[in-house]
Chain A
Amino acid sequence: MSAAALLLQFLNGLAAASSLFLVASGLSLIFGVSRIVNFAHGSLYMLGMYLAVWLSAKVGFWLSVPLAAAAVGAFGLLVEFLLLRRLYRAPELLQLLATFALVLVIKDFALWAWGAEDLLGPRAPGLRDAIEIAGRQFPKYDLFLIMLGPAVFALLHFLLTRTRFGILIRAATEDREMAGALGVNQRWLFTAVFALGALLAGLGGALAIPREPANLEIDLSVVSDAFVIVVVGGLGSIPGAFLAALLIGEIKAFCIGLGYSKITLVAEFIVMAVVLVLRPWGLLGRAGAEPRGATAVPFTLESKKLMLAVVAALALVPVFSGGYVLVLLTDVLVFALFAVSLHFLLGPGGMVSFGHAAYFGLGAYGAALLVLRAGLPMEIALLLAPLAALAGAALFGWFCVRLSGIYLAMLTLAFAQIVWSIAFQWDTVTGGSNGLVGVWPASWLGSRAAYYLATLSLCALAVGAVWRVVGSPFGHALRASRDSPLRAEAIGIDVRAQQWTAFIIAGAFAGLAGSLYAFSKGSISPETLSVPRSVDGLVMVLLGGVQTLTGPVWGAALFTWLEDSVSRDVAYWRAAIGAVVLLLVLAFPIGIAGAAGKWRSR
């Protein structure tokens, strides 16, 4: 690369960094203060884009930007006021479920309101063309963005360090309970911060329209970028977010400039993994005060008889039906096992994973590769495949258990994305983006009924085994490590070893679910390793209830059934699922199994 080319790519990186920073700063503020993992942040950005394209046809681009940002800010205010406010007392992560539902609703709203076609916005008046820099053309608008990023950063910095509002935000970010105890009105603060974060997301979206079309896929791609920036920078740290945005914007620009464009598929996740392994709280983050009074639940199986009855009833289904019911139930069983394995990590283990699909997918790919490439009999492949997941979990878990909270969750996500990108790009082995086909069960398991019964037996045994482990001495030591790591250490429990073992167990059982899944579908593709698969698992666990043992099973059954039945009858089925999830969250903040248990014990 010539010096001039270097300079230009550097400027490209700066422009990208500015847009990244705008959307990430709002997310960082929200998380810092309210600990809400706002999945809908990208959807707010998308709303900003659509509103700006729509408004700019009426009032011109420059006026549409503040209007769109303000509208999204107002929408954020409403969301906090009507929805999130009701959930702060609910178990942690439930807000995550609520914002996930919002993603679905907002996506279908945008489709309904603005249609399916991408909307390319206008160029910015006054900055329509390019100027010459080092003999090359560079867009004036990108120069404007390069200056705007630092300006917004300076403004936020001023707000946080020089105003009373900012001081309260910082106090709440450092130690939320203490700020509350000192008389800070948390309700007002949370509302204001969420609205401000939403406004920044809307502003980011509105400012993006001269560079990219408003489209329905942008929400998830933006939110994952924003999360990476926030975590790499350090949660709640605005300077950290700025630094991380610069780092990632430049790395991507130079990957492209130097001809390694394929790496951009995972560049940010590689950066995140490296940063978190070296600096567990991000570049400029600090270890925050742990939230106190975490709910310690004993996890006892509510009724062994009930579960045995359920299994017996399920075993009788093939007598009555040989058709689609078995296909659907096979999916339910596989996802129930997946959700139970995730819950083992999340409940008794106290470790949130955003990347559990990695182990599900490793199991699925393990099964497919053992059958197709190694030529093993299907039965052997089915049972050996979880070892691939186990190995992956052992490797990644070793790094992950060194972190805690959201950092741990994001590191699991980073590893999952790295595995995904390998499966996606390693054509000769994994079949690339198309995946592998022809992964069918052996002929004696070929009928729907036979495979269903095999799945039922294996899943029932596996779920029983996981629950058994929860009640074992190891399970108790694991819970002690979760609830009070210091005391656990003091009485001689090796906390990290417990957590690492839990990670490996959870990974292996997720791998078994993936292996069963592969043979039930006949084919696999990188989708089995993808973020949406991980999110689905979390949704199932949270719907069912984190604080119960059987919750994940019911959650998996409900969610799979919901997706199946709603998508058949409702045109805007994503919004419908979102609405149902929102209603459930508001009605049963402790999950359906939790609510049922409470009702029984009355």
Chain B
Amino acid sequence: MRFLALLLALAAAPALSQPVKIGELNSYKVFAVFLEPYKKGMELALEEINAGGGVNGRKLELIVRDDGGTPGDAVRVAEELIARDRVNVLMGTFASNVGLAVANLAAQRKILFLASEPLTDKIVWENGNRYTFRLRPSTYMQTAMLIPEAAKLQKKRWAIVYPNYEYGQSATASFKRLLTQAQPGVEFVAEQAPALGKIEAGAVVQALAEAKPDAIFSSLFAADLQKFVREGNTRGLFKNTPVFNLLAGEPEYLDPLKDETPDGWWVTGYPWSEINTPEHKRFRDAYQKRWKDYPRQGSVVGYTAVYSVANAIRKAKSADTEKLVEALKGLEMQTPFGPIVWRALDHQSTMGAYVGQLAQRDGKGAMVNWRYADGARVQPSDQDIRARRKE
């Protein structure tokens, strides 16, 4: 009898409306520390949406693929999602070169691509296109978030250290430009650009100290950051020198520092345990209940990315690509970080980040004195953006 029921159900299935498919590709093995929580965030959002009846009466389906971490493989995987799985939307990617390659493919194949994580400014500016939208605050935006606190210190001599690839280079360029505007006469006395993942921390710390800076700006992360922090702590580089470090407050990069966490650094990040707005509390409780683990920055990005697609489909009342593109432009929605808008101007969401200072609590890293920096307030002028988008 049960078997018969199953057969009937199977036969009836195609008659029900087809699910809307999101093709998600990401470098799950190469950047596992960020993307494991990201995946959990996506799955939580998916379960919530489908438990609430899906979108426009259709279930939402995620097809998750590993992109191998290289642009060439990612393009192939994206082609497969488009051609074989017939997904309605592409989503994901982590590294900037992979994100740009997939964005370029999306424009060629005319399919919506929601770039959730890549930070490069170019994906919405110089190389921006009609079909590509980006969720996270860009390198430029996160750098701009730190400028008010940096300028307030009125330090004259700045040293800079950054990983030698596009993210570090554009963070450095933006920081110099924005700080010079905010505080004319500031000097940049030393610059160190170690290769990503291969910092010779002792020599770099030594060289920075020799320049006798009043303050330091860094965009190091992951293993490079940990090596830099330990050497700097041992050699006393940070004793009387304030440091500003992009991303260092994200649990993914902060948690490994434990009792090395340097006191007083200004960072962008995500103080997950302290944000008690109703929208964040609801998200955090649901996440902890579902995964028996606390949310990381990646969790919020994955969760919000899925909701962004769902909301766009609701607003468009369709999963048709061109209608989705129009629906996403100007879409307003709620996120764990508060309300955001998908800007029609450059397809960038106004999702922000938290700016605060590092501190140690019971041998663990934490963020204190933090504030939420709204992504809408850290943008260059519309005119600048139009020029960079070549529109």
Contact = CB atoms under 8 A, between A and B. Distances in A.
Contact of A138 (B71, B75, B230, B235): B235
A574 B65 CA distance: 14
A268 to B, nearest CB: 10
A527 B29 contact: no
Given A1-B210, A324-B79, A525-B71, A15 B202 contact: yes
A120 B101 contact: no
A569 to B, nearest CB: 10
Contacts of B231: 139, 211
Contacts of A564: 76, 80
B39 to A, nearest CB: 11
A437 B101 contact: yes
Contact of B72 (A8, A13, A118, A517): A517
A567 B207 contact: no
A259 B207 contact: yes
A265 B168 CA distance: 14
A489 interface: no
Interface string A129-145: 11000001111001000
Given A13-B203, A213-B256, 7 more contacts: A5-B206, A16-B203, A212-B226, A257-B203, A324-B84, A327-B83, A522-B75
Given A12-B200, A217-B197, A211 B166 contact: no
A364 B115 CA distance: 25
Interface string B185-202: 000001111110110111
A137 B232 CA distance: 10
A327 B76 CA distance: 7
A265 B195 contact: yes
B131 to A, nearest CB: 13
Contacts of B84: 323-324
Given A257-B206, A432-B166, A433-B165, A139 B235 contact: yes
A294 interface: no
B241 to A, nearest CB: 13
7 contacts: A2-B210, A120-B226, A212-B223, A215-B222, A253-B202, A324-B83, A567-B66
Nearest to A326: B83
Contact of B190 (A252, A259, A262): A259
Nearest to B123: A434
B179 interface: no
A136 B235 contact: yes
A394 interface: no
A221 B195 CA distance: 11
B102 to A, nearest CB: 9
Contact of B97 (A142, A212, A213, A435): A435
A433 B97 contact: yes
Nearest to A440: B108
A432 B203 contact: no
Contacts of B166: 432-434
B80 A327 contact: yes
Size range of the interface on B? 35 or more
A118 B202 contact: no
Given A138-B235, A256-B207, A261-B193, A328 B227 contact: no
B36 interface: yes
A601 B258 CA distance: 64
Contacts of B209: 136
Interface in A214-272: 215-218, 221, 252-253, 256-257, 259, 261-262, 264-265
A56 interface: no
B255 interface: yes
B182 interface: no
Contact of B203 (A9, A118, A213, A328): A9
B234 A568 contact: no
Contact of A524 (B71, B105, B164, B255): B71
B340 interface: no
B256 A118 contact: yes
B83 to A, nearest CB: 4
A80 interface: no
Given A8-B206, A116-B33, A139 B79 contact: no
A9 B208 CA distance: 12
A119 interface: yes
Given A116-B36, A261-B192, A323-B83, A12 B202 contact: yes
A136 B120 contact: no
A573 interface: yes
Contacts of A302: none
Contacts of B164: 261-262, 265, 425
Q: Which of A217, A221, A253, A527: most chain B CB closer than 10 A?
A: A527
Given A217-B223, A424-B165, A437-B127, A16 B206 contact: no
A217 B190 CA distance: 28
A523 B210 contact: no
B245 interface: no
B104 interface: yes
Nearest to B37: A116
A314 B229 CA distance: 56
Contacts of B255: 117
Interface string A499-520: 0000000000000000001000
A59 B200 CA distance: 29
Contacts of A142: 202
A432 B165 contact: yes
A259 B96 CA distance: 27
B333 interface: no
Interface string B291-312: 0000000000000000000000
Contacts of B75: 521-523
Contact of A252 (B36, B73, B203): B203
Contact of B100 (A253, A259, A434): A434
A438 interface: yes
Contact of B236 (A118, A130, A438): A130
Contacts of B258: 120
A486 interface: no
Contacts of A256: 192, 194, 200, 203-204, 206-207
A142 B97 CA distance: 37
Contacts of A129: 234
Interface in B84-136: 84, 96-97, 100-101, 103-105, 108, 120, 122, 127
B68 to A, nearest CB: 7
Contacts of B97: 433-435, 525-527
